Structure 1
């Protein structure tokens, strides 16, 4: 209507310069008017996504959307299926969370609108996934049927299905899936003892490089610079290491026989390597069947540099973003305990018992606080990482994984 009024008065017609100016003004003013309406209470205010995150409520098939600045819950999202071993990755802008459920469901959740935008049942049993460097392809790692499936990140349209068939011709569970530089992925095959490097530059025709790893790789870690992929080995003392800068990549064994001379202890819960435990230029790794963290030195051939004795069997060994601390949680019966290692002295400087069933930990983007999920006490605790004082408590129904959008800017997360 404004275009017709202005054109009629000037005689320039609807395509005249004044009309074009009016259309341009309307184009630019419309978003501002929408923002003004949101800020005056017509809808939720505009906000960024850099301090957002999610808490998985495993028993309810639901997740909370939270913000770390005020340490509050913003919304809940239901209908996410079996979240008993859920994992989450984020779009590169931090707006969308991709939730991988144990039942094989893959859900794309809009964190700002707190709703599921797309959902597919892509497997029978899934334990996580990854998103490529450019944010265009989401990959799911599956137990049943064993394999990796690629999806368009915007629509969840299937792009490729890569069966995890080892050299023995049998299907294998896939673990340790991580994104790499160059639009590649790395994954480990548990039964077949292989590491696969997957080139996803053409996601409809991915190319696979197969490497021998060792007995039963159970999880994988990519170093922050994207150069090294480490796979823990459940079936033997040691880890498998791949130099991703080498062409073609080669796998080598490191820390072989770290338990030599002593009987391994019972393993009540599989350790995890996905904690980015790289600090002080060292790798801090949970030892299978031991109450220890192993410290390996990449500058000296990844040889053992130290060990730190712990209160129990470590599950997550996670480095604070500045690398000064490593926080460790434990398997049953010590899963009420968290220990903090000072990486400068390689000593445990704090032992805490914040709650029952500490399943996961997540640092805020710059590490001034850490969030702990307390499954058996139905809450999440937030602690200051300098004073170790409790900052906040949030109610949650059997919480497990906590994931913050800062992961979108890191390899292997």
Structure 2
């Protein structure tokens, strides 16, 4: 009933509460009804350390004090003493007294279907080209915008789950987009009818999801609990859950899951054990992989019981970040210790060490062809450079100096340029533009001085580059990809990423997969 009382009375009640109250008691009094027992989430997100790891302490304090606009999260600055707010914020960053658990039954019970997939109309309800839509993840207020890539104007904007992973995934035809939130929710959204189709909570902390190239499956990878969850892509019905552990029984968090379309398989990167997993979803595959406790055989018909039995590639270190060569025969991986390797997925072993040091961000790398050679290029999280590697010889071709440590590198088949940010350093407001023909920086642009500017995505034809001003409030800038001049700006709430349907489903060499 407190929410119905006048603000002045609420303030008076808050001032009567003793300072330095037990934070667990504060949670039960003020947070439990929305965020759930044991902080696992209910109508509001989970408040576990894993769920909050990307929030700075100041952001957590600000949310408790002032609430969140456009949500049901209230402000507590007038109800709680500041010392109690600080104690509560610290409490949320610690592990619960009882270990948080999430079972297959919990997953099944969480599923909500909003629209019968069998009754969805065959054509879009809007006039935009469905292959040239952009999906924009706005972290500032947990919303998603859908843009018409031809007019570069919004079609719709809707509220998302809390703290979406920046990289949504698409069905092969581009009709559906799948989102994963940090606290375990997977959402299927229909870009034809602009509505949610289904949602399901697959865990308490989820890294990301992958969609199979045949459009049948969604695979979610969790860090809490340490599981893989297989879902039917059409309606998100749970199919099977696999505990992630090595041959000795050691459990591991999932670092990421990927779809390797040419191989008709998922690739799973592990965070705590030196292994790389490959899970085939080809129903016609008949393969035997001898020599490992996880080996499996797939018959002519897809067996769900045998489906999540991975082909394991043993490694000599844990690889934290990854890049695939265009044929998906090789994984280029880097560890946090500064080592990088090339793993051949066919023979299941390392075939080369790579001259990559520091913290290369391979997951945001690009591939391109120039002068008859195939190259990959990656930014670096710890130094101002882009490293170019020859994909035939696995040798470093060049280190291109940039303005500072960068997170994203992006390009397109129809442009000779690659764009890289420096968002991890003092030049966070400036993008460097690299000529792929000369491997040199030819231009820098600072569209919004002093504001973090990063993550470029191109229109379907490569004519325009969309750039995020990652502030709240922020902007989505449209720049001409040839002249680098700004042609349009759209207000956004910290747009952490935007994704063009055509570029994603065709696996453009200039964007992440």
Q: Which has more strand, going by share of residues?
A: 1
Cα distance, 1:47 vs. partner?
A: 4.5
Q: Which residue of 1 aligns with 2:491?
A: 395
Does the 8 Å CA contact 2:421/2:453 hold for their aligned counterparts? yes
Q: Which residue of 2 aligns with 1:291?
A: 384
Following superposition, the deviation at residue 136 of structure 1 comes to: 1.0
Whether 1:339 and 2:419 are equivalent positions in the alignment is: no
> Can you list the C-alpha shifts for 1:10-37, whole angstroms capped at 9, x where unaligned?
xxxxxxxxxxxxxxxxxxxxxxxx99xx
**C-alpha offsets along residues 141-176 of structure 1, whole Å, 9 cap, x if unaligned?**
222223322211101011222333235533323234
**Among 302, 310, 314, the residue aligned to 1:212:** 314
* Shift in CA distance, 299/332, structure 1 to aligned 2, threshold 3 Å: closer
Task: Name stretches of at least 5 consecutive residues in structure 1 with no aligned partner.
Answer: 1-33
Residues 56-96 of structure 1, C-alpha deviations (whole Å, 9 max, x = no match): 11132210011111111000122x21225332011122111
Among residues 211, 226, 239, which one is paired with 2:328 in the alignment? 226
RMSD over aligned CA atoms reads 2.5
Q: Select the residue among 353, 358, 372 that pairs with 1:254.
A: 353
Asked if structure 2 preserves the Cα contact closer than 8 Å seen for 1:109 and 1:117, the reply is yes
Aligned to 1:139: 219
Contact 2:128 2:148 in 1 (8 A): no
- Deviations 1:180-233 (CA, angstroms, capped at 9, x unpaired): 123201121122132111112337223312223454422222233333322222
Give the match's secondary structure for 2:140: helix
Asked if 1:123 corresponds to 2:203, the answer is yes
Instruction: Look up the SS of the partner of 1:273 in the other structure.
Output: helix
> Any conservation in 1 of the 2:278–2:312 contact (CA below 8 Å)?
yes
Q: Return the alpha-carbon distance in structure 2 between the equivalents of residues 308 and 168 of structure 1.
A: 43
Q: Structure 2 CA distance, aligned partners of 1:252 and 1:220?
A: 15
Q: Is the partner of 2:251 in helix, strand or coil?
A: coil
Question: Corresponding residue for 1:409?
Answer: 506
Task: Judge conservation of contact 2:321–2:362 (CA < 8 Å) in 1.
Answer: yes
Q: Do the aligned residues in 1 keep the contact of 2:212 with 2:264 (CA within 8 Å)? A: yes
Give the whole-Å Cα distance in 1 for the aligned partners of 2:303 and 2:507: 21
CA, structure 1 residues 111+331, in 2 after alignment: closer, same or farther (shift >3 Å)?
same
Q: Aligned residue for 1:19?
A: none
For 1:203 and 1:71, how far apart are their aligned partners in 2?
45
Aligned counterpart, 1:306: 398
Structure 2 counterpart of 1:11? none
Q: Is the aligned partner of 1:363 residue 2:467?
A: no
The structure whose RCO (Cα within 8 Å, separation 6+) is larger is 1
CA distance in 1, matches of 2:142, 2:412: 29
Partner of 2:274: 193
Aligned residue for 2:9? none
Matching residue within 298, 321, 328 for 2:413? 321
**Residue 112 of structure 1 corresponds to which residue in structure 2?**
192
Pick closer, same or farther for the CA change 1:391–1:232 going to 2, 3 Å: farther
Q: Classify the secondary structure of the residue corresponding to 2:392.
A: helix
Indicate how the Cα distance of structure 1 residues 142 and 272 shifts in structure 2: closer, same or farther if over 3 A, else same. Answer: farther
1:323 Cα offset (Å): 6.3
Name the SS of the counterpart of 1:50 in structure 2.
helix
Equivalent in the alignment of 1:7: none
**Maintained 8 Å contact 1:176/1:220:** no
TM-score by length of 2: 0.65
Partner deviation per Cα, 1:249-308 (whole Å, 9 max, x = no partner): 33334214x44xxxx5xx7xx8352443444311102245322211111222x1111111
Work out which of the residue numbers 331, 337, 342 in structure 2 matches 1:241. Answer: 342
Q: Which residue of 354, 359, 363 corresponds with 1:273?
A: 363
Divergent runs of 4+, >6 A: none
Structure 1, 377-386 or 353-362: larger mean CA deviation:
353-362
Relative to structure 1, the CA distance from residue 326 to residue 167 in structure 2 (aligned partners, 3 Å threshold; closer, same or farther) is: farther
SS in 1 for 2:268: strand
The more displaced of 222-231 and 183-192 is 222-231
Q: Which moved more, 1:349-358 or 1:308-317?
A: 349-358
Number of residue-to-residue matches in the alignment: 360
Asked if the contact 1:273/1:317 (under 8 Å) is kept, the reply is no
